[in-house]
Amino acid sequence: MRWDAPCHMLLDVGITPTGKPREKGIWMYGTDILTPKNETSTYYFWGASRSCGLDDPNAGKQWEDAIELAFGQQDKPVIEAQQHMLRLRGATDIDEVDAVRLPTDAGPTRCRLVMDKLRETNATESPQPNNPSLSKLIAISKNNHTDRVMPVV
């Protein structure tokens, strides 16, 4: 997974027979783009492309169903329940409550630290079209589009 803070993720997954090059396997690219709607809601856009079953209309439907299951029936209810529990405690952020952190929370916790740093930086700097940091980010993104995921900040 590649995360371009603050709101874009690229998932590059696939399977290849042992000892064979990537081109002999199957893969899927998924992209997720999130943008705030208001204080408690976010628009979540996603897309996916794949290397297999391109001529099979059933394959597309199977992928769509699997993605809908993951996001709509698994992730969404959990996120909504978390939001509800925060509201019950008068909080708007997970860091405002004494939450139990699990080992699987390590990635999201690191992302939150990066976001805190970005907010801190944005509070003191205004983005400029020719900002060297932005130019560097764009160059890194263009040059490494096939690399395995790493946060780019």
Q: What is the CATH classification number for the domain harbouring 97?
A: 3.90.380.10
Tokens of 141: 């993104």
Q: Domain of 43? A: 2-143
Indicate the helix (H) or strand (E) that contains 74. none
Distance, CA of 117 to CA of 113 (rounded, Å): 6
Does residue 84 lie in a domain region? Answer: yes
Distance, CA of 112 to CA of 135 (rounded, Å): 23
Distance, CA of 52 to CA of 29 (rounded, Å): 12
Q: What is the model's pLDDT at position 151?
A: 43
Domain count for the chain, please give it: 1
Q: What is the model's pLDDT at position 139?
A: 58
Q: How many CB atoms lie within 10 A of CB 40?
A: 10
Residue with tokens 């394959």: 59
Q: What is the model's pLDDT at position 18?
A: 94
| Mean pLDDT for the chain overall | 81
Q: Which residue numbers in the chain have pLDDT < 50?
A: 144-153
